[in-house]
Each structure stands twice: as C-alpha cells, then as structure tokens.
C-alpha cells in the first residue's frame, strides 16, 4: 500500500461525492443539464486532471528521478536504474503540470462564481482585476517552466541532468509559490465583506465560515508542500501536501454550490431571504422592503398651484409608472450566487413654479408624464387623483 493511503482515497472519494452533489444541485437550480454554466464544465476538467495527479503521485512516491543526492556516483547506475529514473522524472513533470492545472482551474471556477455574485456590487471590479492577475500569473509561470528554466526541454528527464533547474526546479517552485499563494489570498478575501454584511442566521454563517476555513487550510497546504520541496527534496512528504492542496481547493470551490440539493434533501430554509446592507439578494424581495419604498413614494406630494401670470391656468399631471422587472422574476435567479440591488421604482418629481415653468424632472425608468391644460377649479380634484394613483400603485405592488 502507498504511503498516501488511505488518506488520499478518502479525500478523492469525498471530492467525487461533492462534485456529483454540485452538478445535481446546478441541474435542479437551472432546470436542465444544458443550462449549466461554464464553470460547471471547467470543474469537471479539474476533476479529470486531479485524477491523473492522484494516480501519478502514487507512482512517484515509490520511484526515483533525476534528482540525485550530492556525492552519489551516477557512473555506477545500471541501464535499468537509469531507465527507471527517466520514467520517474517524466512522472514528476506530469505531477507538477497536473497540480498546476488543477489548482488554476479551481481558481477560475471560483472567480466565475464571484463574477456572478458581484454582478451589481462594487466588488465586481475587484473580481475582474484578480481574474486578470490569476490568468496572467498562470501564463507567465507556464512559459517560464516549459520554455525558460530548463533548456533543452528533454533535460527535465535526463539522467544525470546538466542543469540543476531541470532536476530540482528551484526557480519554478519559487515562481509557483509567489503566484499561487498571492492569488489564493486575493480570491479568499473577495467574499469576506459579503459574509459580514449579509444578514444570515448564525448557523448559516457558521457553515460559510467552515468553507472559508477550508480555503485557509488550502493556503497552508500550499505553503507546506513548497516547504517540504525545498527542505526535504529527496523525501516524499511534498507529494502528500500536493494532494491535500488540490483536494481542499476542489472542495472549497464546490461546497458553496451544493446547497440546492442539500436544501431539498433535508428540507432546509432558503438562504436568500436576507438582505445585504440595504441591497437585495436574488429571491429576497421582501414585502417589508417594498412597503418601505412605497411609503416614501406616498410622502411625496404633487402640489399644483395656479399661476396668476398665466391667467390661472394650471397643468394636469398624470403619472404612469411601469416597472419592467417583475417581482416574481427575482424570486429565484442564481439564488446562491447573485446579489441584486433593489428595483428602481422611486419617483422624484420637482416642480419649478417660481419662474412660471411647470416642467417636471423624472429619474425612474418606465415613467411617463402627460401634461394637458386644465382650469384652476380642477386643481383639488387633480391632487386627489394623483394621491389615489399612488395608493393604487402601492396596492398593486403588495398584491404581487
């Protein structure tokens, strides 16, 4: 049995279970397999690369490579020993590449999820910046590893190697450490403000904190696998931490999206019925928030006064409000991922009567103002009609 067993088997099986739960949850959420997002497919690719990583790592721990201890005489190596070391060196290359691909695919899935979460929030720009940094870091790291640090490329499995960077890969490990850990810290820091501002029960927040603790452990694993790579290059401790980093990163990216299925199985409450600092989580268009906004509309008064300079002629103001966003459309739309601001339904009307003008200023989509001549005697009736229209508007929204 490998030194990685049974730990790696437990991790690997857990990752498969969480992935299946995530995909079923996404299907329940979208209603169709065809409606899955791009990150749902990328996480499946990450699972494939992690499978290759797991298999190759189990072979590496029991094989040799071109990393030769100081003082060891390579001239005494038999042809069979050299062949085994060449094979082991190629597997080390596969392990390194599969680990990098797995980790960066998981980062991409997390950033795509954050992109949907912060679609209407200030953090959206931060997500874009972190995404660009993460993608650029991966490209730079791969160019350096595959085309700069070790030339010719075949020296990566040459026994013995003519360049220490082809066997120990010190420069690559340093580059990977800096880019990997820095992007991890940025990614895990993005949702932290949302966690503290979202009004959730303590139990739900405890679950979210548990997920973030897994992300923190992922960073610790990234530090430790590089620590053992530098301090114990001839040991196998680094392989265990390579797998632990990959597994925890995978779990951290998938666990937040498993809630729809878990909610259905255990009949839990929907997390989306809570507000975020005056904003709305999708699906959380609460009646109290509607009523609060409508009360502010009721307080606005439209005063129509006759102007002596115009012979006592006033204007009839008819306000027609149409809200293009239906309440029911917001009841469930990426409930675990997207945060909306409140619908724009407030009307602000300002009348300029001092200079004899009666034009109105309007800041709300879907609102039209119709103005027609009227006699001074109908001003009171018009004011009552306008107030009644606003009351009807409130009743209509409440009924929805």
Give the integer Cα–Cα distance in Å for 186 and 179.
Answer: 11
Query: What secondary structure letter does DSSP report for 391?
Result: H
Six-digit token string for 348:
């602000």
Element (H, E) at 367: strand 367-374
Vertex 17 angle, CA 62 and 26, to 5°: 135
Q: Note the pLDDT of residue 268.
A: 63
Which phi and psi (to 5°) does residue 365 adopt? Answer: -70, 145
Q: Note the pLDDT of residue 270.
A: 61
Q: How many CB atoms lie within 10 A of CB 309?
A: 9
Query: What secondary structure letter does DSSP report for 364?
Result: S
Q: Note the pLDDT of residue 323.
A: 41
Six-digit token string for 257:
């999206």
Q: Note the pLDDT of residue 385.
A: 46
Residue among 302, 280, 313 nearest 120 (CA): 280
Q: Is the pTM of this model over 0.75?
A: no
Six-digit token string for 81:
């020993």
Q: pLDDT per residue over 40-84, tens digit each?
A: 999 999 999 999 999 999 999 989 899 988 888 888 899 999 999
Per-residue pLDDT in tens (0 to 9) along the chain, 400 residues: 567 889 999 999 999 999 999 999 998 888 888 889 999 999 999 999 999 999 999 999 989 899 988 888 888 899 999 999 999 999 999 999 999 999 999 999 999 999 988 888 888 999 999 999 999 999 999 999 999 999 999 999 999 898 999 999 999 999 999 999 999 999 998 888 777 776 767 766 777 788 888 889 999 999 999 999 999 888 889 999 999 999 999 999 999 888 778 777 776 666 544 444 434 333 333 334 444 444 444 444 434 344 444 444 444 444 444 444 444 444 444 444 444 444 443 334 344 444 444 444 333 344 444 444 444 444 444 444 444 444 544 454 444 4
Vertex 306 angle, CA 303 and 309, to 5°: 135
């Amino acid at each position: 049995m490998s030194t990685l067993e049974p730990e790696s088997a437990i991790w690997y099986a857990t990752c498969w279970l969480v992935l299946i739960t995530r995909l079923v949850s996404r299907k329940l959420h979208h209603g169709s397999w065809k409606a899955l997002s791009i990150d749902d497919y990328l996480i499946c690719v990450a699972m494939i690369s992690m499978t290759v990583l797991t298999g190759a790592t189990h072979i590496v721990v029991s094989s040799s490579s071109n990393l030769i201890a100081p003082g060891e005489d390579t001239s005494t190596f038999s042809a069979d020993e050299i062949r085994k070391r060449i094979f082991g060196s190629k597997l080390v290359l596969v392990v390194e590449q599969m680990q990098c691909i797995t980790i960066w695919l998981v980062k991409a899935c997390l950033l795509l999820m954050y992109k949907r979460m912060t679609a209407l929030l200030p953090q959206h720009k931060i997500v874009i910046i972190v995404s660009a940094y993460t993608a650029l870091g991966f490209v730079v790291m791969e160019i350096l590893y595959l085309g700069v640090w070790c030339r010719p490329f075949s020296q990566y499995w040459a026994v013995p190697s003519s360049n220490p960077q082809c066997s120990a890969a010190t420069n690559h490990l340093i580059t990977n450490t800096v880019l990997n850990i820095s992007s991890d810290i940025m990614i895990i820091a993005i949702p932290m403000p949302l966690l503290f501002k979202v009004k959730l029960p303590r139990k739900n927040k405890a679950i979210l904190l548990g997920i973030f603790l897994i992300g923190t452990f992922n960073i610790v694993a990234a530090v430790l696998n590089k620590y053992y790579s530098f301090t114990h290059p001839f040991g196998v401790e680094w392989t265990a931490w390579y797998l632990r980093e990959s597994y925890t990163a995978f779990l951290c990216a998938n666990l937040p999206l498993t809630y729809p299925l878990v909610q259905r199985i255990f009949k839990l409450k929907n997390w989306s019925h809570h507000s975020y600092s005056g904003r709305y989580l999708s699906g959380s268009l609460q009646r109290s928030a509607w009523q609060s906004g409508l009360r502010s509309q009721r307080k606005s008064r439209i005063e129509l006064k006759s102007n002596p300079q115009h012979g006592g002629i006033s204007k009839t103001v008819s306000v027609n409000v149409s809200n293009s966003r239906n309440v029911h459309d917001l009841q469930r739309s990426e409930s675990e991922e997207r945060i909306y601001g409140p619908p724009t339904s407030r009307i602000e009307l300002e009348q300029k009567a001092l200079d004899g003008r009666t034009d109105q200023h309007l800041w709300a989509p879907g609102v039209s103002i119709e103005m027609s001549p009227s006699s001074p005697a109908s001003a009171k009736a018009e004011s009552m009609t306008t107030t009644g229209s606003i009351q009807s508007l409130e009743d209509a929204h409440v009924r929805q």
